[in-house]
Copies of this chain bind each other. A is one copy, B any other.
Amino acid sequence: MSLAELKAWMQPHLDRVEAVLSAGIQADSPARLGEAMRYAVLDGGKRLRPLLVLATAEAVGDAPQSPAALNAACAIELIHAYSLVHDDMPCMDNDVLRRGKPTVHVQFGEAQALLAGDALQTLAFEMLTSQDGSVPAAVQAACVALLARASGYQGMAGGQAIDLASVGLQLSEDQLRQMHRLKTGALLLCSVQMGVACVPDVAEGVRMALTRFGEALGLAFQVVDDVLDVTADSATLGKTAGKDVAADKPTYVALMGLEPAKAYADALAAEAMQALTDTELDEGRLAALRALTAMVVQRNN
């Protein structure tokens, strides 16, 4: 799949995700809280996690418009968005720029940002359990379990706690990998796992190969992030460049040097591609996942 073909595949999916997210957060809500939530989540972001959910569900299933996958795609983006809102707050990374706009606490105040992040997390679980009968309860419960585990204290939130505790420390490569496996990797892996969970009766071998795919992709994403933090400027990134270095945070670039970090990202992408081959699914089914993997490694923001 060429980049042009990927874009053509992506666009209707992005439109559907945006429509569901927008319909799910009413601006006319108590004390402008919905407005702050919409600001945090609409019209921005690469939507990588939703696209991974949808591409995975399409790879293993036969329902390209599956409501289960669409709900899961939106839910994981809500979790991602909540984590960014809280991560940017003064007591955490204290950042003022995100997706090219002032961060939520700059725009709406700290208290409102705290509540908006809280409510975005809640909405993720509400979205996974719509009671309209369109998604079997077993799929709903499985997705909630996966998403909660991936984003909780033994997943994303735990990774952020390690991140905070690691400022100024020398981490070994193992420690750094563990931090990123939780902080970023858990949610990317979860995107793939939820895509699988939305489809009945996926063969165990396929499921395991896709898990390895999600793990490798998640780590590749973070290594590229560390590279971009040094090589890109803030305008391109849409967020403050160089902030990891400035905050004296451990990164793959600090640990390995710039060129070896780039080479490591490429090696991880190759590992992800091999895991896709190992699923033994038709290449046509895997095309979007392969193109998304290439995009993760080649992105410049």
Contacts and interface: CB of A to CB of B under 8 A. Distances in A.
Nearest to A152: B122
Interface string A130-143: 11000011101110
Interface string A90-117: 0110000000000000000111101111
A118 interface: yes
B114 A141 contact: no
A206 interface: no
Main SS at interface, chain A: helix
A245 interface: no
Contact of A158 (B29, B82, B162): B29
Contact of A119 (B122, B158, B164): B158
A33 B117 CA distance: 19
Interface in A144-198: 144-145, 147-149, 151-154, 157-162, 164-165, 182
Contacts of A117: 118
A37 interface: yes
A36 to B, nearest CB: 8
Task: Among A83, A109, A161, find the residue whose CB has the most chain B CB atoms closer than 10 A.
Answer: A161
A126 interface: yes
A152 B129 contact: no
Contact of A182 (B30, B116, B154): B30
A114 B131 contact: no
Contacts of A126: 144-145, 148-149, 152
Interface string A76-96: 000000110010010110000
A32 interface: yes
A252 interface: no
Contacts of A130: 145
A145 B145 CA distance: 13
Interface residues of A, number: 58
Contact of A30 (B37, B131, B147, B162): B162
Contacts of A112: 161, 164
Contacts of A247: none
Contacts of A161: 30-33, 112, 115
B29 A118 contact: no
A126 to B, nearest CB: 4
Contacts of A159: 30
21 contacts: A25-B153, A29-B153, A30-B153, A30-B162, A31-B158, A31-B164, A31-B165, A33-B153, A86-B114, A115-B153, A119-B157, A123-B152, A128-B144, A129-B141, A131-B141, A131-B145, A137-B138, A137-B142, A140-B141, A140-B144, A144-B144
Given A32-B161, A122-B157, A141-B144, 4 more contacts: A114-B114, A116-B153, A119-B153, A123-B153
